[in-house]
Copies of this chain bind each other. A is one copy, B any other.
Amino acid sequence: MSTSTPAIASAARTADSAHPATAELRSAVARLARRLRAERADDTISDGQFSALAHLKMYGPHSLTELAERERVTAPSMNRTVNCLQEAGYLERVNDPDDGRRVSIRLTAAGRDLIDETLRRRDAWLDAALDELDASDRAALAAAVPVLQHLAAR
């Protein structure tokens, strides 16, 4: 590369953290998440498209407006995303029998498979990394998982 890079940890550290490892935790989580996101089953769909499919997989069918709100995008934007995914065969629209304005957006089998395969690849990458840790490091990580889940739910 260009210049040498001695002070990574100190550069990543901000001044006024009350807890000693805050900046290190923040930085490690960001980099690990980025690395995991790179593992995917279909390179032709975007992050936003994958995220919408994953949401449907986890929380079941949604109306367009609901799905847009959950993914924090506008309804027209989600409408386009849904069109693309429907054309690709990953989800379908079903008319709501009780309310003629609403549609139910739900995964197809192919959509479910896509999510499963992508998560499987991410887990495979992470599993391989865990394999190379020694037992005490794995234990430390296992003990921290519930805490990380709690932080993520905040």
**Would you give 10 A-B contacts (Cβ < 8 Å), ordered by A?**
A2-B63, A2-B146, A2-B149, A4-B149, A8-B59, A11-B57, A11-B58, A16-B124, A19-B127, A141-B147
Residues of A within 8 A of B (CB): 1-5, 8-9, 11-12, 14-37, 57-63, 66, 70, 116, 119-120, 122-124, 126-127, 129-131, 133, 137-138, 140-154
**CB contact between A29 and one of B14, B16, B36 (< 8 Å): that residue:** B36
**CA distance in complex: A126, B59 (Å):** 27
- Are A123 and B2 also in contact (CB < 8 A) when A21-B145, A116-B14, A144-B143 are? no
Contacts of A29 in B (CB 8 A): 29, 32-33, 36, 148, 152
Chain B contacts of A9 at CB under 8 A?
A: 149
